[in-house]
Amino acid sequence: MSTLTVPKEYGYVVLTSVAGSIVVNMYFMRCVAKAREQHGIKFPTVYAIDNDAFNCVQRGHQHFLEMQPFFMATSLIGGIQHPRLVTGASLVYLLGRIVFMRGYSTGEPAKRKRGFFGYGGLLACLGASVSFAVHRLM
């Protein structure tokens, strides 16, 4: 049996991954609320049948939510062993999500690709998690 020690720098991981995600999600919620008002889409309608501009905003937020479990798991696990790497990677990921959303919100879905660089941050978090797992098994 071994002891798991959480480094002091892990606090940065929590700030970027958890607090950062909450702030980004609140910003995306605001984007969807503004789009609902602008396009006259009432609750509980999730996707409008004939309004692609609104659907692009809604889809941008939905995609963020779909990716959250993977991001949170990989950043919080990988950050135990690699807190500085994961802190930086989390910032890249979240910035990529914002650029993704801003591009998608134009109503031209192809512009979401501008934020694909954020996946580099997610892959770095995944690598850190795999590294953590391998080191725990040795």
Q: Mapped to the 3 state alphabet, what secondary structure does 89-132 carry?
A: HHHHHHHHHHHHHHHHCCCCHHHHHHHCCHHHHHHHHHHHHHHH
Tell me the pLDDT band of 4, cut-offs 50, 70 and 90: confident
pLDDT for 75 beyond 80: yes
Reported as a pLDDT band with limits 50, 70 and 90, residue 84 is very high
pLDDT computed for residue 3 by the predictor: 84
Question: How far apart, in whole angstroms, are the C-alpha atoms of residue 60 and residue 62?
Answer: 5
| Long-range contacts from 92-95, C-beta under 8 angstroms, 24+ separation | 92/117, 92/118, 92/120, 92/121, 92/124, 93/118, 93/119, 93/120, 93/121, 93/122, 93/125, 94/16, 94/20, 94/21, 94/24, 94/118, 94/121, 95/121
Q: What share of the chain is helix, strand, coil (3-state, %, to 5)?
A: 80, 0, 20
Q: Write out the two tokens for 97.
A: 């999500």
| Mean pLDDT of all residues in 62-84 | 98
pLDDT at res. 47:
95
Instruction: Say if residue 125's pLDDT is above 80.
Output: yes
pLDDT above 70 as % of the chain = 99
